[in-house]
Structures are given as C-alpha cells and as structure tokens.
C-alpha cells in the first residue's frame, strides 16, 4: 500500500522543486527550445506566480544579452507548472488576462482563445511550457522540449506576452522579477492596435 505525502509536506516539496527549476535557470541552463530558437539567450529574470498563496508556476524570461525595450527582438518565457492544470483552463485564464489589459478586439480575442485551446495541453506538476517570441511573425509553444504549435499573429504574440510583461499586468511583482532592473518591454506594449 502506497502512502500519500500529506498536504503541507507535499506543498513544501513542490515549492522546493519549483525553486530548483529556477536555480537551474540561474545557472544558464536554457531549455532546448530556447537554445535552438535563440542560441545567444541569457537569463533576464525569474519568479514564482502564486494565487491565494498557492504556487501555480515558476517563470523564467530568456532574452538576447543586449536586447532592446520592445518586441523587435526574440525572447522566450518559460513556465514550469507546480500543479496539474487543464489546457483549456490555461487558455481561458490567458484570454481573461488579455481582456483585462484591453488588448485586441473581442473577435480577435475569441480567435486567439480558440487557437490557444487547440495548442495548450493539459499539464502535470513539473511540466514546462515555453513560449518563444519570433519578432513580427509568431509565437511558438513547446511542452518540455516538444513543439506544440505556433500562432502566426504578431498582435497575439504581443498581447500574450503582455500578460506577464506589460506595466499593467495583474502580477506586477512577478513582472519586476522577470525583467530585472532594466526597461525591457515597457510602454511600447501599449502600441498594439
């Protein structure tokens, strides 16, 4: 008979696992999709997203060493999930954050939601989804190191990454940790039409 680890102990172990993943990021261990898409990528920043105190995911932002403060350069955002989540729920939460930021029209938001639901898989604790921004073209998504799909819409890419990087994000502490002390992706995000 297997014994289950109690709730508090399991949560502590999970938080340690997320921190260890982030520690690997600090060592410069970019996941393979980042190394392949952006060979010179360096760690810009990392942090943990919590919802009512529960760790949801660890986030790591990878950029070029001297990238500018707009979407003219490639970058990647890596999310390592600390719990099981349904892909459709991830898509719905993403579009809700885009709506809060007032990005895109209602018709575009519905199209983006449909596209995300088609791409985002259910994730397990420890799963890693990486979004790679291809300037002026697309966003490519990977689960761990496996390509999931891409959305070829620069406006969607800006809107999606704005969830974490816009100055009006609902997670300003995480944003500050991701961007470090630089001006990466500031007011230029608001130029989306």
Can you tell me the mean pLDDT for 107-124? 98
| Inside any domain, residue 112 | yes
> Is there a domain that residue 42 lies in?
yes
Average pLDDT over residues 158-162: 97
- The verdict on residue 185 lying in a domain is yes
Q: Looking at residue 71, what is its pLDDT?
A: 86
Is 68 contained in some domain?
yes
Mean pLDDT for the stretch of residues 173-191: 65
| Mean pLDDT of the region 138-162 | 97
73: in domain: yes
Q: Considering the domain boundaries, does residue 117 fall inside one?
A: yes
Q: How many domains does the chain have?
A: 1
Q: Across the chain, what does the average pLDDT equal?
A: 85
Q: Is residue 1 part of a domain?
A: no
Q: What is the pLDDT of residues 16-68, one digit of tens each?
A: 444 444 444 444 689 999 999 999 999 999 999 998 989 999 999 999 998 85
What range does the domain containing 30 cover?
A: 7-191
Residue 23's pLDDT is what? 42
Q: By C-alpha distance, which of 184, 192, 71, 185 is closest to 137? A: 71
Residue 97 lies in a domain: yes
What are 19's two structure tokens? 């921190």
Residue 169's CATH number: 3.50.70.10
């Amino acid at each position: 008979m297997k014994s289950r680890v109690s709730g508090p102990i399991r949560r502590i172990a999970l938080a340690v696992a997320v921190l260890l993943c982030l520690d690997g990021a600090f060592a410069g261990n970019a996941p393979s999709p980042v190394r392949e898409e952006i060979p010179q990528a360096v760690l810009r920043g990392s942090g943990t997203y919590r919802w009512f105190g529960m760790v949801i995911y660890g986030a790591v932002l990878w950029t070029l060493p001297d990238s500018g403060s707009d979407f003219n350069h490639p970058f990647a955002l890596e999310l390592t999930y600390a719990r099981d989540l349904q892909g459709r729920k991830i898509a719905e939460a993403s579009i809700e954050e885009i709506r809060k930021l007032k990005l895109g029209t209602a018709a575009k938001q519905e199209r983006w939601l449909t596209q995300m639901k088609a791409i985002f898989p259910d994730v397990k604790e420890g799963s890693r989804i990486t979004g790679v921004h291809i300037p002026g073209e697309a966003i490519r998504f990977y689960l761990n190191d496996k390509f999931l799909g891409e959305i070829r819409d620069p406006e969607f890419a800006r809107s999606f990454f704005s969830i974490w990087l816009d100055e009006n994000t609902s997670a300003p502490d995480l944003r500050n940790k991701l961007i470090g002390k630089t001006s990466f992706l500031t007011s230029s995000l608001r130029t989306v039409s």
